[in-house]
């Protein structure tokens, strides 16, 4: 009997190990990752297979795709029959002709078209962004749609609560999406303040449905009357008040007021998410009014997430780096590049493109900062310039190519934004808009210090070990 029991046990262990190895062989795209997991499964028969099935299988992408295919997320933009379809009858500006291949790439991987006739206004910090957003909310006539990752219940957050409740009470349709993990950054929960009001609140992926730390909505969208929008990297809370701080550790960031035909596509992104959280398909024409030309910017809405077939944002970033001729300017709070991104940055610099990366000197996430430092030597030695911005912590995300093309929005240059979360960015062709961002870069660099290869190589051994150990967890940071 004992012999039979051990035979069954050994057979089961062998089956699990072999199944794990075969699964890694068939589904891991990176051969190094596949080989590593196969070795782990076969050399550690019990622990290895358990570890692989727990950590090595990409359930995030699979779960998100299941939502899309089941209809839990809107499967196709045709569900919004009233959304205007705007044909493209224009060419890129003369100084952006060399980026035509980048436009072709975006046409093929992004559903939304490139739209002309838009205007974007940068708003630095909550000091500029919040008054403009609140004014738009208070003057709303038909609808207010707002989505955010963090909605603090501090004095700033409550000013938004009061404005939303007030306009809802006079008959304006108000819908709010707040991420169910992000809302827990503040106590009391901000949704508690909306109880008994006419504001409709949807929580993105409540934790009771599986406890997902990933698959969060990191998007920041405000659309008022379907005619004006705000988006960028800024959450709602007093931490973004910098000129007149209301907390001890303010956070610098940039948001954008968006006007023109592109607003319809931000509205659509919000309503797709609303369908996901509230099971209500909102597509009436009143939410998609006729939008007039407001400026000269060519803009495309790029919504990305783990349910998408392509890694849109990463591919656009890589495409931009390959098309750049003069300069690449990047500002991001979290920099954890994968191998393709490192190669693209290095290749651009080696081609003679001036590549500049601006990071915060002190990060609000120490583990991310340590992992980031472990990557710097590799790009510094090939000519990429890196600057550290002094405190307060800078949360701004900007990506500029040749002072004409910009990528702005919610995504960071890390695996969480480019692989795990739902993000919204805008790609913009506009010399005037880009010149404002270039000036912002220049001002930031003027107060920053340049990071040298000698400095990175000269770190104490204990710091190198710490940083490299944090780097091992890069895919999960």
| Bridge-based pairing state of the strands 385-389 and 228-232 | unpaired
Q: Which of 267, 298, 329 corresponds to the end of one domain?
A: 298
Residue 30 has pLDDT above 70, yes or no: no
> Could you tell me the residue range of the domain that residue 222 belongs to?
117-298
Instruction: Say yes or no: 185 and 288 in one domain.
Output: yes
The winner for highest mean pLDDT among 53-67, 78-92, 242-256, 423-437 is 423-437
User: To the nearest whole percent, how much of the chain has pLDDT over 90?
Assistant: 64
Residues 328 and 462 in one domain: yes
- pLDDT class of 213 with cuts at 50, 70, 90: low
Q: How much is the CA Rg of the chain, to the nearest whole Å? A: 24
- From 298, 320, 350, the end of a domain falls on 298
Confidence of residue 275 (pLDDT cuts 50, 70, 90): very high
Query: What integer is the mean pLDDT of 294-319?
Result: 89
At residue 87, the pLDDT reads 55
Q: What integer pLDDT is reported at residue 76 of this predicted model?
A: 52
Q: What is the mean pLDDT of residues 384-389?
A: 97
Give the pLDDT score at 352: 96
Q: How many residues does the chain have?
A: 477
147 pLDDT above the threshold of 80 = yes
Q: Are strands 354-360 and 327-331 parallel, antiparallel or unpaired?
A: parallel
Q: Among the listed ranges 236-245, 256-265, 314-323, which one has the minimum average pLDDT value? A: 236-245
Angle between helices 366-380 and 461-471 (to 10 degrees): 100
pLDDT for 11: 72
- Same domain as 453, residue 388: yes
Question: Do 332 and 260 belong together in one domain?
Answer: no
Q: How far is CA 469 from CA 314, 371, 446, in A?
A: 25, 8, 33
**CA 448 – CA 391 distance, rounded (Å):** 10
Residues 321, 174 share a domain: no
Q: Report the C-alpha gap between 193 and 172 in whole angstroms.
A: 18
Taking 80 as the threshold, does the pLDDT of residue 5 lie above it?
no
- Quick: pLDDT tens for 43-72: 777 676 666 655 555 554 555 555 555 555
If you average pLDDT over residues 149-173, what whole number do you get? 95
H/E run at residue 371: helix 366-380
Residues 318 and 445 both lie in one domain: yes
Count how many domains the chain has.
3
Residue 86 has pLDDT above 90, yes or no: no
Q: How far apart are CA 308 and CA 413, in angstroms?
A: 18
277 in the same domain as 324: no
Q: Which residue do the tokens 């290869």 mark?
A: 453
Q: How confident is the model at residue 173 (pLDDT cuts 50, 70, 90)?
A: very high
Please check whether residues 193 and 258 belong to one and the same domain: yes
Q: What is the mean pLDDT of residues 216-228?
A: 95
Q: Are residues 136 and 285 in the same domain?
A: yes
266 and 382: one domain? Answer: no
Q: Tell me, what's the pLDDT at 247?
A: 84
Q: Is the pLDDT of residue 320 over 70?
A: yes
pLDDT tens, 106-141?
999 998 999 999 999 999 999 999 999 999 999 999
Query: What's the chain's average pLDDT?
Result: 87
In a domain? residue 303: no
The confidence band for 2, taking pLDDT boundaries of 50, 70 and 90, is low
Question: 33 and 132: one domain?
Answer: no
Instruction: Please name which of 270, 190, 193 lies closest in space to residue 224, comparing C-alpha atoms.
Output: 270
What average pLDDT score do residues 354-377 get?
94
CATH of the domain at 336: 3.30.870.10
Q: What is the arithmetic mean of pLDDT over 315-338?
A: 96
Asked whether residue 330 is domain-assigned, the answer is yes
Strand-pairing partners, residue 451, are 386
Q: Identify the pLDDT of residue 43.
A: 74
| d(C-alpha 204, C-alpha 298), whole Å | 31
Give me the phi and psi of 415, to 5 degrees please.
Answer: -60, -30
Q: How would residue 93 be classed by pLDDT, with cut points 50, 70 and 90?
A: confident
- What is the predicted pLDDT for the residue at 454? 95
* pLDDT of the residue at 380: 96
Whether the per-residue pLDDT at 74 is higher than 60: the answer is no
**What pLDDT score was predicted for residue 270?**
96
Confidence of residue 474 (pLDDT cuts 50, 70, 90): confident
């Amino acid at each position: 009997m004992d012999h039979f029991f051990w035979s069954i046990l050994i057979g089961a262990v062998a089956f699990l190990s072999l199944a794990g190895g075969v699964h890694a062989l068939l589904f891991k795209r990176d051969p190094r990752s596949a080989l590593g997991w196969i070795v782990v499964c076969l050399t550690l028969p019990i622990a290895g297979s358990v570890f692989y099935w727990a950590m090595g299988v990409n359930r995030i992408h699979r779960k998100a795709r299941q939502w899309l295919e089941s209809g839990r997320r809107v499967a196709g933009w045709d569900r919004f029959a009233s959304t205007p379809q705007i044909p493209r009858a224009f060419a890129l500006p003369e100084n952006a002709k060399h980026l035509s291949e980048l436009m072709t790439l975006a046409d093929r991987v992004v559903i939304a078209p490139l739209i002309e006739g838009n205007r974007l206004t940068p708003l630095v910090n909550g000091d500029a962004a919040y008054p403009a957003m609140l004014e738009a909310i208070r003057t709303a006539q038909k609808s207010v749609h707002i989505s955010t990752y963090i909605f603090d219940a501090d004095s700033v957050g409550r000013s938004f609560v009061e404005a939303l409740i007030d306009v809802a009470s006079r008959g304006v349709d108000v819908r709010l999406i707040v991420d169910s993990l992000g809302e827990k950054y503040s106590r009391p929960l901000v949704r508690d303040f909306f109880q008994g009001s006419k504001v409709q609140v949807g929580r993105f992926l409540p934790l009771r449905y599986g406890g997902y730390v990933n698959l969060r909505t990191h998007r920041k969208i405000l659309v008022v009357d379907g005619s004006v929008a705000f988006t960028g990297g800024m959450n709602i809370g007093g931490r973004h008040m910098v000129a007149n701080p209301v907390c001890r550790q303010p956070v610098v960031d940039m948001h954008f007021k968006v006007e023109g035909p592109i607003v319809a596509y931000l509205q659509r992104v919000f309503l797709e998410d609303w369908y996901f959280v509230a099971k209500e398909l909102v597509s009436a024409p009143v939410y998609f009014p006729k939008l007039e030309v407001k400026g000269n910017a060519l803009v495309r809405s790029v919504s990305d997430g783990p349910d998408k077939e392509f890694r849109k944002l990463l591919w656009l970033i890589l495409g931009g780096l390959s098309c750049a001729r003069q300069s690449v300017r990047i500002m991001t709070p979290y920099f954890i590049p994968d191998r393709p991104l490192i190669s693209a940055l290095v290749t651009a610099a080696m081609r003679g493109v001036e590549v500049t990366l601006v990071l915060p000197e002190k990060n609000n996430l120490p583990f991310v900062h340590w992992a980031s430092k472990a990557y710097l030597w590799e790009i510094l030695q090939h000519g990429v310039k890196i600057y550290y911005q002094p405190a307060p912590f800078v949360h701004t995300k900007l990506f500029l190519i040749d002072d004409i093309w910009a990528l702005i929005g919610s995504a960071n240059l890390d695996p969480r934004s480019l692989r795990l979360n739902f993000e919204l960015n805008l790609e913009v062709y506009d010399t005037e808009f880009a010149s404002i961002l270039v000036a912002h870069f220049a001002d930031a660099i003027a107060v920053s210090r340049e990071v040298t290869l000698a400095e990175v190589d000269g770190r104490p051994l204990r710091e190198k070990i710490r940083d490299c150990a944090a780097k091992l967890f890069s895919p999960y940071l």
